[in-house]
Amino acid sequence: MSLLHLAIFSPLLLAVLIPLFYKGFRQVHTGWFVLPLPIVLFSYFISFLTNTSRNETITETFNWIPSLGINLTFKIDGLGLLFALLISGIGGLVVLYSIFYLDKDREKLNTFYVYLLLFMGAMFGVVLSDNLIVMYAFWELTSISSFLLIGYWYHREKSRYGAQKSMLITVFGGLAMLGGIVLLYLMTGTFSVTEIIAQSGGIINDPLFIPALLCVLLGAFTKSAQFPFHIWLPDAMEAPTPVSAYLHSATMVKAGIYLVARLSPVFAESPVWLWLVAGFGIITLFWGSFSAVKQTDLKSILAFSTVSQLGLIMSLLGVGAAALHFKTMDDGLYTVATTAAIFHLINHATFKGSLFMVVGIVDHETGTRDIRKLGGLMSFMPITFTLAIIGAFSMAGLPPFNGFLSKEMFFTGMIRVLELDIFNLDTWGILFPVLAWIASIFTFIYSMILVFKTFTGPYKPEELDKKPHEAPIGMLISPIILASLVVIFGFFPNLLSHSLISPAMASILPGLLVNGGEFVVHISFWHGPNIELFMTLGVITLGILLYITYPKWRNIYNVFPEKLALNRFYDGLLEVAQTSSMKMTRFYMNGFIRTYLVYIFTFFIFILGGTLIYKQAFKLDTRHVASIGVYEMIIAFLIVLSTVTILFAKSRLSSIILLGAVGYIVSLFFVLFRAPDLALTQLVIETVSVALFLLCFYHLPKLKKEESRIQFKLTNALISIGVGGIVTAIALSAHSNKLFDSIAHYYVENTYEKAAGKNMVNVILVDFRGFDTLFEICVLAIAALGIFAMIKLRLTRRKEG
């Protein structure tokens, strides 16, 4: 495996060692052992900037299941490197922040950092995998690890609810995405993203193209919290603040954005892709910003703001798909939206990460996140207030911060939709700039609420659990670094143009590059008195007015019936599913083994019998059947006689002895057919089984007379005859329908040659079927441990009683 493979799997490897660090160094915060890893990974990935700046792609492959086309192929291009730097860079800052946020004496830090490292490693796998099946495996690992992180404080009901909700929705989308991956494979014959993109032009007319597109988008929309699947994200706020900062700024929710960006070259020429991605994105932007304003919890405001910002980026990627339709850069007319999407992706990571950490500081130092209890904290927490101003103003799109630049580019992308004469955008496209502008007003409002309702206004000491004070420097370092990047990228945006934005665009729009060219990206503050500037002035003016008059119009949120809320629909659907499953389970799980056997054997008869009839597979060929001797007939008669006698036995002891007799008689068949090893094995197994049966049944009460009577039941008789008949028919058909030579000749020829053994049966069990034998031993060991545990538990309870 290469160094790239090691880098991707290193978080997973470190996760295995965390319990050892935690146990051996309890006096040291476990985060200090974790912190060096993201720093080293960030340094490693940043060394690839020179390669990706030249639009080079580094690919490393480790053969995993080559027969199925599934290999551990990882590649670093502009898009993958951008996400890898966000994951490792923000990850390092989150770990540093968590060291001072989480108390080592009160929290189970070993589990926290194990979950965090699993999540980090899973995200690396998602953004750097070139094989879609491998990417899907990591994709679901992000769902599992985020479930564990969100439910970290599992003693809280809301944490458990939020964790379950996020997992159900994202795993549902992941399964849909897996369906899309399979459909892509059926169309292209490969799981490689690179090869699928190379064949994209030839599959757009395939009947499986649109179903694959819809399945992929379902996975992306659920993961990136697009409307109406966004409902899991606010409930994920029950996670510790470092987790929220990581999930929202650089990882979990950005996975869907990555998927859409990565597969845009495959699907973007379809109008369905453009309308769905851009349409759901702009609706999510509006609904997220509109919903954020009414929240009273600081983390809830940020959660809905993340929903809103994700919709903004998604809408830009959808509009940017027009560039691949026209296959031209055309002075940025079609590529400005994609440029804005990548730039805002970076900006959002910086200001949202810092804002979550600021909210965590407020919660940590005051004991509450409720804005109705907060106010006047500016004089107590001046540094935190400054960081909040920088992050919130950037999120609102105000100069001179980086969010202003990407928001202006967002307006440009939405306005230029009207210039497109494809897919009815010249008519319905007017919705994009209108909704973008309205959503930006609400974004301005909730950004102001976040800052001024918390840090200005009257101080309410009676509402707070603690006397507020500035956070320790260790907790401030990470948000200060992120806020500094907000300012630096605002004043010097072209630091990112050639190094990150242009290479990422080359990955999303590869068909537009000719003869090794590159996208020329230049971002500047001033473009003159254009329509975007007037839209921004309108946002600020109307936003200030609505913020001031908010008490007068906030009743608008009461117009929408609560019973029609999506959360109500989700809870109702979950309740119906649980009730229905319980009723169904109670119907067939009635506690009687006989009932379960009736279900199993009836299904067995109808499925196998129906298959034999449908396929006309029953065949009886006696040409190659050996003659039946008198000894075989006698032994067979004895087996049948012993079996039938069991039914009329009046004691358990008699039944056990007769059952053992059946097994011993079967061993005579092995002796007769010259298989002494099998005969010895059968004798040992029967002896042990009979002894165990006797030991178990010794403790049971004696049978009563009415219990020992056998009553004839037609259902039992029909099922017994049916199972026996089907098994006999299958055995006769299998012997009569030999489509190829028996494998026995292979064992005869290779037992001594390849395994150096003369006992064929032993060699088959130990060498040719060694893994099968090993797993059987494991199953027996697990069963033995389970039995031992239950016996010990029962004995312990007796002693306690």
What is the Cα–Cα distance from 165 to 216, expressed in whole angstroms? Answer: 21
Per-residue pLDDT, 514: 58
**Per the structure block, which two tokens stand in for 718?**
């029909």
**Do the Cβ atoms of 605 and 723 come closer than 8 Å?**
yes
pLDDT value at residue 515: 57
Q: What is the structure's pLDDT at 706?
A: 53
CB-facing half-sphere around the CA of 97: CA atoms within 13 A: 30
Beta bridge partners of 61: 73
Integer Cα distance of 794 and 777 in angstroms: 26
In the prediction, which pLDDT does 772 show? 87
In the DSSP assignment, the letter for residue 70 is E
Contact assessment for residue 286 and residue 414, using Cβ atoms and an 8 Å cutoff: no
Cβ-contact 323, 273 below 8 angstroms: no
What is the reported pLDDT for 407? 93
Of the ranges 304-308, 591-595, 681-685, which one carries the lowest mean pLDDT score?
Answer: 591-595
Note the pLDDT of residue 752. Answer: 80
Token digits of residue 590:
């009635």
Lowest mean pLDDT among 148-157, 300-309, 573-582, 618-627: 618-627
The helix or strand, by DSSP H or E, that contains position 65, with its residue range, turns out to be strand 58-65
DSSP codes of every residue in 754-765: HH--S-HHHHII
Which helix H or strand E contains 278, and what residues bound it? helix 271-292
Half-sphere exposure of 224 (CA within 13 A, CB side): 30
CB 62 within 8 A of CB 128: no
Distances (CA, A) of 316 to 197, 410, 431, 527: 21, 7, 14, 20
For the record, the structure tokens of 299 come out as: 């983390």
Q: Out of 193-197, 617-621, 709-713, which region has the weakest mean confidence (pLDDT)?
A: 709-713
The SS3 assignment for 438 reads: helix
Tell me which of 227 and 617 has the higher pLDDT: 227
User: 677 or 56: which carries more pLDDT confidence?
Assistant: 56
Distance CA 679, CA 713 (A): 36
Nearest residue to 125 (alpha-carbon basis) of 109, 111, 140, 105: 140
Neighbours of 487 (CB within 10 A): 15
Distance in angstroms (rounded) separating the CA atoms of residues 667 and 798:
42
> How many CB atoms are closer than 10 A to CB 36?
12
Burial 559-582 (b: 16+ CB within 10 A, else e): eeeeeeeeeeebeeeeeeeeeeee
Residue 424 confidence (pLDDT): 67
Residue labelled with tokens 């309702």: 453
The stretch 534-539 carries a mean pLDDT of: 94
**Residue 740 backbone dihedrals phi, psi, to 5 degrees:** -155, 165
Instruction: Give strand pairing partners of 637.
Output: none
DSSP H helix total and E strand total for the chain: 34, 2
Instruction: Tell me the domains of the chain and their CATH numbers.
Output: 3-569 (no CATH), 592-743 (1.20.120), 744-801 (no CATH)
At 331, the pLDDT band (50, 70, 90 cuts) reads very low
The residues, any chain, with a CB within 8 Å of residue 599's CB and separated by 6 or more, are 588
Residue whose tokens read 């207030």: 385
pLDDT in tens, 267-291: 988 889 988 999 999 999 999 999 9
pLDDT digits (tens, 9 = 90+) for 726-741: 998 888 888 777 777 7
Q: What's the pTM value of the predicted model, to 2 decimals?
A: 0.82
3-state DSSP of 786-798: HHHHHHHHHHHHH
CA dist 370 and 374 (Å) reads 6
For 466-510, the pLDDT digits (tens) are: 888 899 999 999 999 999 999 999 999 899 988 999 999 989 988
3 state DSSP class of 561: coil
- Mean pLDDT across the stretch 361-381? 91
Residues 6+ apart with CB under 8 A from 461: 467
The pLDDT of residue 59 is above 70: yes
Q: Which two tokens stand for residue 313?
A: 């980026």
